[in-house]
Amino acid sequence: MPEFIYRVRHQGTGSVVEVSGDIDMSVHQQLTEALEPLVAAGDVVLDCSQVSFMDSMGLRVALSMVRQAEEVGTTFALVPSKAVSRVLELAGVTEIFDIRDTVPSAAE
């Protein structure tokens, strides 16, 4: 199982959170705790382009960040890997997300 790693970069009025490895039940709380204050403070791009696996708990984190961003008036964009895109498609929630191909396009 690839190690879960995340890194936060502040960019303009928001943040880019680069994630790699697996997003699953074992790390969902850690990711939630990293994202919540960032989403509350400004726009967030979650770069999952290096994520190899995401389970339903990872999906739950992403969905809760979309809701939180809507509530506080910020944006939450997602740059998915093929594995993450597949989870979104299977769950039928692709249209809920602001999906971008790259971080620069998400930050525009």
Task: Give the HSE-up count for residue 99: Cα atoms under 13 Å, Cβ half-sphere.
Answer: 15
Looking at residue 70, its pLDDT comes to: 98
- Residue 77 · residue 98 · CB < 8 Å: yes
Amino acid identity, residue 33? E
- Residue by residue, DSSP assigns 41-72 as HS-EEEEEEEEEEE-HHHHHHHHHHHHHHHHH
| Domains of the chain, each with CATH number or no CATH | 5-106 (3.30.750.24)
Q: Is 75 helix (H, G, I), strand (E, B) or coil?
A: coil
Looking at residue 2, its pLDDT comes to: 83
Q: Measured between alpha carbons, how far is 53 from 28 in angstroms, rounded to an integer? A: 12
Q: In order along the chain (108 residues), what is the average pLDDT of each group of 10 residues?
A: 92 94 97 98 97 97 98 98 98 97 73
Looking at residue 106, its pLDDT comes to: 58
